Structure 1
Amino acid sequence: MLSVVVAPWAGVAEPVFVRNPDVLHDAASTMKVAVLAALWRSGVNLDADVPVVNHFESAVGGEFGNNQDYDSDPLPWELLGSHVPLSLLAERMITHSSNLATNLCLARTTPRAVADVWRRAGATRSSTPRGIEDYAARAVGVNNLVSARDLVRLIRSLADEPELLGLLEDNDFRVDLAAGLPPNTRIAFKNGWIPGARHCVGLVHPYDCPPYLIAVCYTGPLASGADRADPAARLLARVSAAVWTRRHEICSSA
């Protein structure tokens, strides 16, 4: 299943292209944007030191932990047992897609706060009811889900929070949508991958026309779950490249 939404960035313009925009996909790491926004808006002191641990409260009771082998970022694991600024964890959650950092950030906010991020964005279907690798919750149907339309709405909701968009521009995984753009094209984006699913949402700033939003979600056998060498990542790059060739039409048709 391939879902695509393309929309102008300016104002509240409707998408100019949609394909399966409201189909739900496993959120993978795209949900980390909602966690970031919830943490930022909570007023918590991001400079405060917090303990780096690997035990978290499950959404259905009990505790769970992350598996280092499934994490794309070694740094938080090297910091286990120490105290670090919460801002560092928030940064690694986005720039290096750290699962451990994500759950540590979730522990400093609330599921209700994350749900409110989606609500304020105007999302109608997406939700983030549990942490990453909370398998007990997943076993009873408590899942993190996103649609391409809601991901575009989520990024649009950050318009007045340039600090968050700036963090998304520092994403280290320059694959998926970024790989389909000319070198050095500015893009604030978050990708996510698991076996069977590959997604990416971004705000693209072309050099010769107004910026635009794009979200591509893919669920299917092409997605290997590799962080950079995933065949599905190349699919997303091709979609991004095709949209780029028609970038001048996005705002003119809005």
Structure 2
Amino acid sequence: MKYFFFLSFLLFSGSVFSQNKTELLKLQIDSIFTETQGDFALAFKDLSLEERSVYINEHENFHAASTMKTPVMIEVFNQAEAGQFSLGDSLFVKNGFKSILDGSSFSLELGRDSGEHLYSLIGKKRSIKDLIIDMISQSSNLATNILIELVDAKNVNKSMRELGAKNINVLRGVEDMKAYEAGLSNSTTAYDLMLIFEALAKGQAVNPRADKQMLEILRLQQHTDLIPALLPKEVEIANKTGWITGVHHDSALVKLADGRSYVVVLLSKNMEDMEAGTQMLAGISKIIYDLMINNP
């Protein structure tokens, strides 16, 4: 594919970011997107030099998949900080939820979920903090639904609007098939996810102490086949992925050894070859990392 030629050019071009040349980077990444089957979006911002940013289809709506679990985590911490409960409190692990469409019951399938260990705890208690870790690090859908029921999706959206994320929508828990078939799905944009991770980096999502804890949880991420995939293992990455058929997303705060940080969000949809699309997106992440390293 032609994008490998662009990759080679960019990886060895140390001056792409100098002299306001971010537009060149944008054009070249856009060319890679165009030559890859599917639809893609990018939001990238250097938090130490905010004019160093690249946006492509940043306001286009995508199915949120599991990227919506970061907003859910923020709302759980938000309510905990407000004294509505403690993160050390425990909830019963259950596998029965109500559809937002008609209130009918549904449950999750073990084979379609990550974090299988949680199903062995059904009927037992687990701390809210541990459920958050399950939801983020292993992307447990069961933990997610339990936590959404705790805080209410409407409150998640309210908090996102307060952070300036105007288009991200968390409507429901995972595997609510009646709602899905009625067109009621969680959605996001690359720009909104970037705003959320930027707020976490700056201690403005809930407060500095809570945001530090949330970033520590995000760094426990076990799904690392996109933004972190081609980066050095020592790079500090706090990320949350999301995937369903034809869709593979990642959103991350990347901290470099010199203390600089940047946020990058990569979204995709309508992909027929998930492996090829994922490899391409991992390559885009590497382009951005190499250029940051070469342009302090």
**TM-score over 0.5 for the pair:** yes
1:23-172 matches, cutoff 5 A: 23-43=60-80, 44-60=85-101, 61-158=103-200, 159-160=202-203, 161-172=211-222
Q: 1:242 to 1:87 in 2, by over 3 A?
A: same
What displacement does 1:155 show?
Answer: 1.0
Specify the SS of the correspondent of 1:155.
helix
What displacement does 1:40 show?
Answer: 0.8
Which protein has the bigger helix share?
A: 2
Residues 195 and 223 in structure 1, CA contact (< 8 A), matched pair in contact too: no
Offset from partner CA, 1:59-110 (integer Å, 9 cap, x none): 1222221111111211111111211112111111001000101001111101
Partners in 1 of 2:158 and 2:47 — Cα distance? 22
Q: 1:157 to 1:137 in 2, by over 3 A?
A: same
Partners in 1 of 2:128 and 2:258 — Cα distance? 38
Partners in 1 of 2:294 and 2:41 — Cα distance? 20
Greater mean alpha carbon deviation, residues 71-80 or residues 32-41:
71-80
Specify the SS of the correspondent of 2:175.
coil
Report % sequence identity: 27
Offset from partner CA, 1:28-64 (integer Å, 9 cap, x none): 1000000000111112222112111111122122222
Offset from partner CA, 1:176-197 (integer Å, 9 cap, x none): 1011211221011101111110
Greater mean alpha carbon deviation, residues 76-85 or residues 231-240:
231-240
Offset from partner CA, 1:102-145 (integer Å, 9 cap, x none): 00111110122100221122112110011111111112221100
What displacement does 1:14 show?
Answer: 5.5
Partners in 2 of 1:223 and 1:127 — Cα distance? 27
Offset from partner CA, 1:193-241 (integer Å, 9 cap, x none): 11110000101111136110000001122454xxxxx443322211100
Partner residue, 2:289: 244
Greater mean alpha carbon deviation, residues 67-76 or residues 57-66:
57-66
Runs of 4+ in structure 1 deviating by more than 4 angstroms, as ranges, are none
Aligned counterpart in structure 2 of residue 187 of structure 1, from 233, 237, 251: 237
What displacement does 1:174 show?
Answer: 2.0
Query: TM-score, length-normalised on structure 1?
Result: 0.91
Unaligned runs of 5+ in 2: 1-38, 204-210
Residues 250 and 266 in structure 2, CA contact (< 8 A), matched pair in contact too: yes
Residues 209 and 248 in structure 1, CA contact (< 8 A), matched pair in contact too: no
Partner residue, 1:227: none
Partners in 1 of 2:276 and 2:174 — Cα distance? 23
Partners in 2 of 1:198 and 1:30 — Cα distance? 10
Partner residue, 2:258: 208
Specify the SS of the correspondent of 1:143.
coil
Residues 154 and 170 in structure 2, CA contact (< 8 A), matched pair in contact too: no
Query: TM-score, length-normalised on structure 2?
Result: 0.78
Partners in 1 of 2:273 and 2:281 — Cα distance? 11
Q: 1:194 to 1:14 in 2, by over 3 A?
A: farther
Q: 1:111 to 1:217 in 2, by over 3 A?
A: same
Partners in 2 of 1:239 and 1:29 — Cα distance? 21
Residues 194 and 223 in structure 1, CA contact (< 8 A), matched pair in contact too: no
Which amino acid letter does the alignment assign opposite residue 60 of structure 2?
Answer: V
Q: How many residues align?
A: 245
Q: 1:139 to 1:22 in 2, by over 3 A?
A: same
Residues 89 and 101 in structure 1, CA contact (< 8 A), matched pair in contact too: yes
Unaligned runs of 5+ in 1: 225-229
Residues 180 and 239 in structure 1, CA contact (< 8 A), matched pair in contact too: no
Q: 1:166 to 1:209 in 2, by over 3 A?
A: closer
RMSD between superposed Cα atoms in Å: 1.8
